[in-house]
Amino acid sequence: MTKPAVEFDISDNELHLVYRPRDNTSWVREMFGRGDELLVKGTFHLTSQDLVEEAAADATDDDDDITRLDDDRLVFAIARAEGEYFRFKPEILGFETPVLLHRDARPDWKWFSAERKVSILGVIQSLGLERIVIGGPDSDAIPIPEYERLLGQFPTPHELRRYVQARVGTVIRQYTEPKIDAEALLNAYVDQRTTATAPNLEAPFIDFDVAKYAFALDRLQAMLTNEAGTSEAQWQLEIVEIILLLNPRYIKAFTEVRLWDADASTWRRIDILLVDASGNVDVIEIKKPMGKPIMLPARYRDHHLPMRDLVGAMGQVTHYLRHLNRWSLAGEDYLTRLLSAKLPAGFKIRIINPSGIVIMGRSHALSEAQRREFEVLRRDSKGVADIITYDDLLARLQAVLDQLRSGPALSAAPASPQVE
Protein backbone atom coordinates (compact mmCIF):
# COMPACT_ATOMS: atom_id res chain seq x y z
CA MET A 1 0.00 0.00 0.00
CA THR A 2 1.31 3.45 -0.91
CA LYS A 3 2.37 5.45 2.11
CA PRO A 4 1.31 9.11 2.43
CA ALA A 5 3.75 11.80 1.37
CA VAL A 6 3.33 13.52 4.73
CA GLU A 7 2.48 11.94 8.07
CA PHE A 8 3.22 12.61 11.72
CA ASP A 9 4.83 10.57 14.46
CA ILE A 10 4.61 11.42 18.13
CA SER A 11 7.50 10.70 20.46
CA ASP A 12 7.77 11.47 24.15
CA ASN A 13 9.35 14.86 23.60
CA GLU A 14 8.80 15.77 19.95
CA LEU A 15 6.28 15.78 17.15
CA HIS A 16 7.88 14.53 13.94
CA LEU A 17 6.90 15.22 10.36
CA VAL A 18 7.72 12.31 8.05
CA TYR A 19 8.16 13.40 4.43
CA ARG A 20 8.36 11.03 1.46
CA PRO A 21 9.15 12.95 -1.73
CA ARG A 22 7.68 11.67 -4.97
CA ASP A 23 11.09 11.25 -6.65
CA ASN A 24 13.35 10.05 -3.81
CA THR A 25 15.14 12.44 -1.45
CA SER A 26 18.17 13.39 -3.54
CA TRP A 27 16.74 16.69 -4.76
CA VAL A 28 15.90 17.65 -1.17
CA ARG A 29 19.47 16.96 -0.10
CA GLU A 30 20.66 19.12 -2.96
CA MET A 31 18.40 21.98 -1.81
CA PHE A 32 19.74 21.73 1.71
CA GLY A 33 23.28 21.59 0.38
CA ARG A 34 22.66 24.99 -1.26
CA GLY A 35 21.24 26.34 2.02
CA ASP A 36 17.66 26.48 0.69
CA GLU A 37 14.57 25.55 2.71
CA LEU A 38 11.95 22.97 1.80
CA LEU A 39 8.33 24.16 1.78
CA VAL A 40 5.96 21.22 2.24
CA LYS A 41 2.32 21.69 1.18
CA GLY A 42 2.64 25.46 1.46
CA THR A 43 2.71 25.13 5.26
CA PHE A 44 5.92 23.71 6.72
CA HIS A 45 9.22 25.57 6.20
CA LEU A 46 11.86 22.86 6.72
CA THR A 47 15.65 23.04 6.76
CA SER A 48 18.48 20.63 7.44
CA GLN A 49 18.54 21.92 11.03
CA ASP A 50 15.12 20.33 11.63
CA LEU A 51 16.15 16.83 10.57
CA VAL A 52 16.09 14.14 13.24
CA GLU A 53 19.69 13.17 13.83
CA GLU A 54 19.17 9.68 15.25
CA ALA A 55 19.33 7.12 12.45
CA ALA A 56 17.05 4.11 12.47
CA ALA A 57 18.57 0.67 12.62
CA ASP A 58 17.91 0.04 8.95
CA ALA A 59 18.96 3.49 7.79
CA THR A 60 21.91 4.20 5.50
CA ASP A 61 24.14 7.20 6.04
CA ASP A 62 25.31 9.33 3.14
CA ASP A 63 28.25 11.70 3.26
CA ASP A 64 26.07 14.63 4.37
CA ASP A 65 24.11 15.21 7.59
CA ILE A 66 20.75 14.00 6.24
CA THR A 67 19.26 10.81 7.66
CA ARG A 68 17.67 8.63 4.94
CA LEU A 69 15.59 5.65 6.00
CA ASP A 70 14.93 2.46 4.10
CA ASP A 71 11.71 3.77 2.50
CA ASP A 72 13.52 6.93 1.36
CA ARG A 73 11.90 9.31 3.81
CA LEU A 74 13.05 12.32 5.75
CA VAL A 75 12.06 12.89 9.38
CA PHE A 76 11.85 16.42 10.79
CA ALA A 77 11.26 17.57 14.37
CA ILE A 78 8.60 20.28 14.05
CA ALA A 79 7.31 20.67 17.64
CA ARG A 80 8.61 20.13 21.15
CA ALA A 81 6.77 18.82 24.22
CA GLU A 82 5.53 21.44 26.69
CA GLY A 83 3.36 20.00 29.44
CA GLU A 84 0.25 18.47 27.88
CA TYR A 85 0.98 20.05 24.50
CA PHE A 86 3.44 20.10 21.64
CA ARG A 87 4.59 23.64 20.79
CA PHE A 88 5.43 24.19 17.12
CA LYS A 89 8.67 25.88 16.19
CA PRO A 90 7.76 29.34 14.83
CA GLU A 91 10.26 29.09 12.00
CA ILE A 92 8.62 25.85 10.84
CA LEU A 93 5.22 27.53 10.40
CA GLY A 94 6.55 30.87 9.17
CA PHE A 95 4.90 33.09 11.81
CA GLU A 96 5.49 33.98 15.46
CA THR A 97 2.02 33.27 16.91
CA PRO A 98 2.42 30.32 19.31
CA VAL A 99 0.71 27.12 18.14
CA LEU A 100 0.06 24.31 20.63
CA LEU A 101 -1.28 20.85 19.77
CA HIS A 102 -2.54 18.56 22.52
CA ARG A 103 -0.71 15.26 22.95
CA ASP A 104 -3.91 13.26 22.44
CA ALA A 105 -4.38 14.66 18.93
CA ARG A 106 -3.62 12.37 16.00
CA PRO A 107 -3.24 14.74 13.08
CA ASP A 108 -2.74 14.10 9.39
CA TRP A 109 -1.60 16.61 6.79
CA LYS A 110 -5.17 17.85 6.22
CA TRP A 111 -5.09 19.33 9.74
CA PHE A 112 -2.61 21.91 8.55
CA SER A 113 -2.83 22.27 4.76
CA ALA A 114 -5.81 22.95 2.52
CA GLU A 115 -6.02 22.33 -1.18
CA ARG A 116 -3.78 24.47 -3.37
CA LYS A 117 -1.15 24.40 -0.60
CA VAL A 118 -2.83 26.88 1.73
CA SER A 119 -1.68 26.89 5.37
CA ILE A 120 -4.76 26.52 7.56
CA LEU A 121 -2.83 27.63 10.64
CA GLY A 122 -1.57 30.63 8.65
CA VAL A 123 -5.15 31.66 7.91
CA ILE A 124 -6.14 31.28 11.58
CA GLN A 125 -3.19 33.33 12.85
CA SER A 126 -4.05 36.11 10.39
CA LEU A 127 -7.12 36.76 12.57
CA GLY A 128 -4.85 38.28 15.21
CA LEU A 129 -5.02 35.62 17.93
CA GLU A 130 -2.53 35.72 20.80
CA ARG A 131 -2.01 32.00 20.36
CA ILE A 132 -3.60 28.96 18.68
CA VAL A 133 -4.38 25.99 20.92
CA ILE A 134 -5.88 22.79 19.47
CA GLY A 135 -7.39 20.33 21.94
CA GLY A 136 -6.77 19.90 25.64
CA PRO A 137 -8.06 21.61 28.77
CA ASP A 138 -6.86 25.19 28.26
CA SER A 139 -9.66 27.78 28.35
CA ASP A 140 -8.81 29.16 24.90
CA ALA A 141 -8.36 25.74 23.27
CA ILE A 142 -10.35 24.81 20.18
CA PRO A 143 -11.86 21.37 20.93
CA ILE A 144 -10.56 18.73 18.55
CA PRO A 145 -14.06 17.85 17.20
CA GLU A 146 -14.69 21.55 16.49
CA TYR A 147 -11.31 21.89 14.79
CA GLU A 148 -12.09 18.88 12.60
CA ARG A 149 -15.47 20.44 11.78
CA LEU A 150 -13.64 23.61 10.77
CA LEU A 151 -11.42 21.58 8.45
CA GLY A 152 -14.49 20.12 6.79
CA GLN A 153 -15.81 23.63 6.13
CA PHE A 154 -12.57 25.13 4.82
CA PRO A 155 -13.14 26.63 1.35
CA THR A 156 -12.38 24.32 -1.56
CA PRO A 157 -11.15 25.45 -5.01
CA HIS A 158 -14.70 24.82 -6.29
CA GLU A 159 -16.13 27.10 -3.60
CA LEU A 160 -13.60 29.81 -4.44
CA ARG A 161 -14.63 29.61 -8.11
CA ARG A 162 -18.25 29.94 -7.07
CA TYR A 163 -17.34 32.97 -4.97
CA VAL A 164 -15.60 34.67 -7.91
CA GLN A 165 -18.62 33.94 -10.12
CA ALA A 166 -20.94 35.42 -7.51
CA ARG A 167 -18.88 38.62 -7.22
CA VAL A 168 -18.84 39.02 -10.98
CA GLY A 169 -22.54 38.21 -11.19
CA THR A 170 -23.35 40.96 -8.67
CA VAL A 171 -21.90 43.53 -11.05
CA ILE A 172 -23.32 41.99 -14.23
CA ARG A 173 -26.87 41.92 -12.82
CA GLN A 174 -26.85 45.71 -12.59
CA TYR A 175 -26.95 45.86 -16.40
CA THR A 176 -28.39 42.57 -17.66
CA GLU A 177 -29.93 39.35 -16.36
CA PRO A 178 -27.63 36.31 -16.64
CA LYS A 179 -29.21 32.87 -16.95
CA ILE A 180 -27.17 31.48 -14.02
CA ASP A 181 -27.68 32.86 -10.52
CA ALA A 182 -24.10 32.47 -9.30
CA GLU A 183 -24.88 33.86 -5.83
CA ALA A 184 -27.61 31.25 -5.30
CA LEU A 185 -25.25 28.49 -6.42
CA LEU A 186 -22.59 29.72 -3.98
CA ASN A 187 -25.02 29.89 -1.08
CA ALA A 188 -26.38 26.41 -1.83
CA TYR A 189 -22.88 24.93 -1.97
CA VAL A 190 -21.80 26.60 1.28
CA ASP A 191 -25.01 25.48 3.02
CA GLN A 192 -24.26 21.88 2.03
CA ARG A 193 -20.74 22.03 3.48
CA THR A 194 -21.35 23.97 6.66
CA THR A 195 -23.46 23.47 9.76
CA ALA A 196 -24.82 26.57 11.46
CA THR A 197 -24.68 26.49 15.25
CA ALA A 198 -26.29 29.00 17.59
CA PRO A 199 -23.63 30.73 19.73
CA ASN A 200 -25.92 30.74 22.82
CA LEU A 201 -24.79 34.19 23.92
CA GLU A 202 -27.22 34.09 26.84
CA ALA A 203 -25.52 31.12 28.54
CA PRO A 204 -23.12 33.16 30.74
CA PHE A 205 -25.99 35.34 31.98
CA ILE A 206 -28.81 32.82 32.29
CA ASP A 207 -28.77 32.65 36.11
CA PHE A 208 -28.78 36.43 36.38
CA ASP A 209 -31.64 36.76 33.88
CA VAL A 210 -33.72 34.12 35.67
CA ALA A 211 -33.21 35.93 38.98
CA LYS A 212 -34.06 39.29 37.38
CA TYR A 213 -37.35 38.18 35.80
CA ALA A 214 -38.31 36.09 38.84
CA PHE A 215 -37.85 39.18 41.03
CA ALA A 216 -39.96 41.29 38.66
CA LEU A 217 -42.71 38.66 38.66
CA ASP A 218 -42.72 38.39 42.44
CA ARG A 219 -42.74 42.17 42.77
CA LEU A 220 -45.69 42.58 40.40
CA GLN A 221 -47.65 39.87 42.21
CA ALA A 222 -46.96 41.58 45.55
CA MET A 223 -48.05 44.95 44.15
CA LEU A 224 -51.32 43.50 42.88
CA THR A 225 -51.93 41.89 46.27
CA ASN A 226 -51.29 45.14 48.16
CA GLU A 227 -52.50 47.65 45.60
CA ALA A 228 -53.95 50.05 48.14
CA GLY A 229 -50.60 50.38 49.93
CA THR A 230 -48.84 51.86 46.88
CA SER A 231 -49.26 55.45 45.71
CA GLU A 232 -50.20 56.18 42.10
CA ALA A 233 -46.81 57.81 41.40
CA GLN A 234 -44.84 54.92 42.92
CA TRP A 235 -47.03 52.44 41.07
CA GLN A 236 -46.25 54.07 37.73
CA LEU A 237 -42.50 54.12 38.38
CA GLU A 238 -42.37 50.43 39.26
CA ILE A 239 -44.56 49.32 36.39
CA VAL A 240 -42.57 51.29 33.83
CA GLU A 241 -39.40 49.50 34.97
CA ILE A 242 -41.10 46.18 34.25
CA ILE A 243 -42.12 47.50 30.82
CA LEU A 244 -38.50 48.47 30.09
CA LEU A 245 -37.41 45.00 31.18
CA LEU A 246 -39.87 43.31 28.82
CA ASN A 247 -39.16 45.73 25.94
CA PRO A 248 -35.37 46.11 25.60
CA ARG A 249 -35.77 48.35 22.55
CA TYR A 250 -36.57 51.17 24.99
CA ILE A 251 -33.44 52.58 26.61
CA LYS A 252 -34.96 55.35 28.74
CA ALA A 253 -38.21 56.55 30.29
CA PHE A 254 -38.88 60.16 31.32
CA THR A 255 -41.62 61.31 33.68
CA GLU A 256 -43.52 64.61 33.56
CA VAL A 257 -42.28 65.66 30.11
CA ARG A 258 -43.49 69.04 28.82
CA LEU A 259 -45.48 68.89 25.57
CA TRP A 260 -46.70 71.80 23.45
CA ASP A 261 -50.45 71.86 22.72
CA ALA A 262 -50.78 73.90 19.54
CA ASP A 263 -54.61 73.85 19.69
CA ALA A 264 -54.75 75.62 23.06
CA SER A 265 -51.37 77.37 22.73
CA THR A 266 -50.27 76.03 26.09
CA TRP A 267 -48.00 73.40 27.62
CA ARG A 268 -49.19 69.96 28.70
CA ARG A 269 -47.36 67.23 30.60
CA ILE A 270 -46.95 63.63 29.50
CA ASP A 271 -46.86 61.29 32.51
CA ILE A 272 -44.23 59.00 30.95
CA LEU A 273 -42.36 59.29 27.64
CA LEU A 274 -40.43 56.26 26.32
CA VAL A 275 -37.32 56.62 24.15
CA ASP A 276 -36.00 53.73 22.03
CA ALA A 277 -32.45 53.04 20.86
CA SER A 278 -33.01 54.99 17.62
CA GLY A 279 -34.34 58.06 19.46
CA ASN A 280 -38.00 57.48 18.57
CA VAL A 281 -40.50 58.34 21.29
CA ASP A 282 -43.69 56.61 22.43
CA VAL A 283 -46.21 57.45 25.15
CA ILE A 284 -47.25 55.15 27.99
CA GLU A 285 -50.26 55.60 30.27
CA ILE A 286 -50.32 53.52 33.47
CA LYS A 287 -53.35 53.19 35.77
CA LYS A 288 -53.74 51.12 38.92
CA PRO A 289 -56.11 48.20 38.28
CA MET A 290 -58.28 48.85 41.35
CA GLY A 291 -59.54 45.28 41.03
CA LYS A 292 -61.62 46.24 37.99
CA PRO A 293 -62.11 44.00 34.96
CA ILE A 294 -61.08 45.62 31.70
CA MET A 295 -64.56 45.02 30.22
CA LEU A 296 -67.88 45.84 31.87
CA PRO A 297 -70.07 42.86 32.76
CA ALA A 298 -73.27 44.59 31.57
CA ARG A 299 -74.13 44.48 27.87
CA TYR A 300 -75.10 47.36 25.60
CA ARG A 301 -76.98 46.18 22.53
CA ASP A 302 -75.63 42.67 23.04
CA HIS A 303 -72.00 43.82 23.38
CA HIS A 304 -69.69 44.23 26.37
CA LEU A 305 -68.17 47.70 26.56
CA PRO A 306 -64.72 48.67 27.92
CA MET A 307 -64.45 50.14 31.39
CA ARG A 308 -64.84 53.93 31.52
CA ASP A 309 -61.26 54.43 32.76
CA LEU A 310 -59.93 52.61 29.67
CA VAL A 311 -61.91 54.89 27.35
CA GLY A 312 -60.49 57.91 29.20
CA ALA A 313 -56.91 56.59 29.07
CA MET A 314 -57.19 55.86 25.35
CA GLY A 315 -58.50 59.38 24.76
CA GLN A 316 -55.65 60.87 26.78
CA VAL A 317 -53.02 58.90 24.84
CA THR A 318 -54.66 59.87 21.53
CA HIS A 319 -54.37 63.56 22.42
CA TYR A 320 -50.70 63.18 23.44
CA LEU A 321 -49.89 61.45 20.15
CA ARG A 322 -51.72 64.13 18.15
CA HIS A 323 -49.80 66.93 19.91
CA LEU A 324 -46.49 65.14 19.35
CA ASN A 325 -47.14 64.64 15.64
CA ARG A 326 -48.15 68.29 15.17
CA TRP A 327 -45.07 69.42 17.12
CA SER A 328 -42.87 67.55 14.61
CA LEU A 329 -39.36 68.95 13.94
CA ALA A 330 -39.67 71.78 16.46
CA GLY A 331 -40.65 69.21 19.08
CA GLU A 332 -37.69 67.01 18.19
CA ASP A 333 -35.28 69.90 18.69
CA TYR A 334 -36.93 70.95 21.97
CA LEU A 335 -37.01 67.43 23.45
CA THR A 336 -33.43 66.75 22.32
CA ARG A 337 -32.21 69.85 24.18
CA LEU A 338 -34.43 69.13 27.20
CA LEU A 339 -33.39 65.49 27.64
CA SER A 340 -29.82 65.51 26.28
CA ALA A 341 -28.19 65.44 29.73
CA LYS A 342 -29.81 62.05 30.42
CA LEU A 343 -29.07 60.51 27.01
CA PRO A 344 -25.87 59.44 25.19
CA ALA A 345 -23.79 62.22 23.64
CA GLY A 346 -25.07 63.26 20.23
CA PHE A 347 -28.36 61.41 20.72
CA LYS A 348 -31.32 62.95 18.84
CA ILE A 349 -34.98 62.60 19.73
CA ARG A 350 -37.25 61.70 16.79
CA ILE A 351 -41.01 62.13 16.54
CA ILE A 352 -41.97 59.74 13.75
CA ASN A 353 -45.48 58.28 14.02
CA PRO A 354 -45.26 57.65 17.79
CA SER A 355 -47.46 54.98 19.34
CA GLY A 356 -49.01 54.56 22.77
CA ILE A 357 -49.17 51.93 25.47
CA VAL A 358 -52.00 51.73 27.98
CA ILE A 359 -51.56 49.51 31.03
CA MET A 360 -54.57 49.01 33.26
CA GLY A 361 -57.28 46.64 34.43
CA ARG A 362 -57.51 42.87 34.96
CA SER A 363 -58.49 40.22 32.41
CA HIS A 364 -58.15 36.91 34.31
CA ALA A 365 -61.82 36.78 35.31
CA LEU A 366 -63.35 37.77 31.96
CA SER A 367 -65.98 35.51 30.49
CA GLU A 368 -65.39 34.06 27.04
CA ALA A 369 -67.71 36.65 25.50
CA GLN A 370 -65.95 39.51 27.33
CA ARG A 371 -62.55 38.19 26.29
CA ARG A 372 -63.56 38.12 22.62
CA GLU A 373 -64.93 41.65 22.81
CA PHE A 374 -61.73 42.82 24.48
CA GLU A 375 -59.54 41.25 21.80
CA VAL A 376 -61.61 42.98 19.12
CA LEU A 377 -61.11 46.31 20.92
CA ARG A 378 -57.40 45.67 21.44
CA ARG A 379 -56.76 44.82 17.79
CA ASP A 380 -58.87 47.73 16.51
CA SER A 381 -56.82 50.08 18.71
CA LYS A 382 -53.46 48.62 17.71
CA GLY A 383 -52.67 51.48 15.36
CA VAL A 384 -53.03 53.98 18.20
CA ALA A 385 -52.14 52.20 21.44
CA ASP A 386 -51.30 48.74 22.70
CA ILE A 387 -53.66 47.85 25.55
CA ILE A 388 -52.00 45.65 28.17
CA THR A 389 -53.72 44.31 31.27
CA TYR A 390 -51.89 43.38 34.45
CA ASP A 391 -52.68 39.74 33.78
CA ASP A 392 -50.94 40.16 30.39
CA LEU A 393 -47.87 41.45 32.23
CA LEU A 394 -47.93 38.49 34.62
CA ALA A 395 -48.23 36.06 31.71
CA ARG A 396 -45.39 37.69 29.77
CA LEU A 397 -43.03 37.61 32.74
CA GLN A 398 -43.92 33.97 33.40
CA ALA A 399 -43.40 33.05 29.73
CA VAL A 400 -39.96 34.68 29.68
CA LEU A 401 -39.02 32.81 32.86
CA ASP A 402 -40.25 29.47 31.49
CA GLN A 403 -38.23 29.98 28.31
CA LEU A 404 -35.06 30.94 30.16
CA ARG A 405 -35.33 27.84 32.31
CA SER A 406 -36.05 25.53 29.38
CA GLY A 407 -32.87 26.16 27.38
CA PRO A 408 -31.43 28.40 24.61
CA ALA A 409 -33.85 30.83 23.00
CA LEU A 410 -32.71 29.89 19.47
CA SER A 411 -33.46 26.37 18.21
CA ALA A 412 -33.97 24.72 14.85
CA ALA A 413 -37.57 23.85 14.03
CA PRO A 414 -38.43 20.13 13.85
CA ALA A 415 -38.57 18.56 10.44
CA SER A 416 -41.97 18.83 8.78
CA PRO A 417 -43.96 15.60 8.82
CA GLN A 418 -44.44 13.81 5.52
CA VAL A 419 -47.73 14.64 3.82
CA GLU A 420 -49.38 11.61 2.30
Model pLDDT, residue 346: 92
Taking residues 315-343, what's their average pLDDT? 95
Taking residues 284-300, what's their average pLDDT? 82
pLDDT of residue 57 exceeding 70? no
Amino acid at 51: L
Cα pseudo-dihedral 178, 179, 181, 185, rounded to 10 = -140
Model pLDDT, residue 368: 87
Model pLDDT, residue 196: 63
Tally of CB atoms within 10 A around 363: 22
Burial readout 308-346 (b: 16 or more C-beta within 10 A, e: otherwise): ebbeebbebbeebbebbeebeeebbeebbeebeeebeee
pTM above 0.85, yes or no: no
Percentage of the chain beyond pLDDT 90 is 47
pLDDT band at 183 (very low <50, low <70, confident <90, very high): confident
Taking residues 408-420, what's their average pLDDT? 66
Question: pLDDT higher for 69 or 151?
Answer: 151
The DSSP code for 174 is T
What gap in Å lies between CA 306 and CA 299, rounded to an integer? 10
What is the chain's mean pLDDT, rounded?
A: 85
- The answer to whether 253 touches 244, Cβ cutoff 8 Å, is yes
Q: For 334-369, write each residue's pLDDT tens digit.
A: 999 999 999 999 999 999 999 999 999 888 888 888
- The answer to whether 42 touches 119, Cβ cutoff 8 Å, is yes
Model pLDDT, residue 67: 46
Model pLDDT, residue 69: 46
Q: How far apart are the first and last CA of the chain?
A: 51
pLDDT band at 46 (very low <50, low <70, confident <90, very high): very high
Report phi then psi at 364, rounded to 5: -70, -25
pLDDT of residue 414 exceeding 50? yes
Three-class HEC string of 112-160: CEECCCEEHHHHHHCCCCCCEEECCCCCCCECHHHHHHHHHHCCCHHHH
Model pLDDT, residue 398: 96
pLDDT band at 198 (very low <50, low <70, confident <90, very high): low
Model pLDDT, residue 419: 55
pLDDT of residue 54 exceeding 60? no
Q: For 81-98, write each residue's pLDDT tens digit.
A: 999 999 999 999 999 999
The DSSP code for 298 is E
pLDDT of residue 330 exceeding 50? yes
What gap in Å lies between CA 315 and CA 322, rounded to an integer? 11
What gap in Å lies between CA 170 and CA 267, rounded to an integer? 55
Model pLDDT, residue 241: 94
Model pLDDT, residue 343: 94
Least confident of 65-69, 173-177, 201-205: 65-69
pLDDT of residue 59 exceeding 80? no
pLDDT band at 417 (very low <50, low <70, confident <90, very high): low
pLDDT of residue 70 exceeding 60? no
pLDDT of residue 60 exceeding 60? no
Model pLDDT, residue 124: 86
pLDDT of residue 249 exceeding 90? yes
Taking residues 270-282, what's their average pLDDT? 95
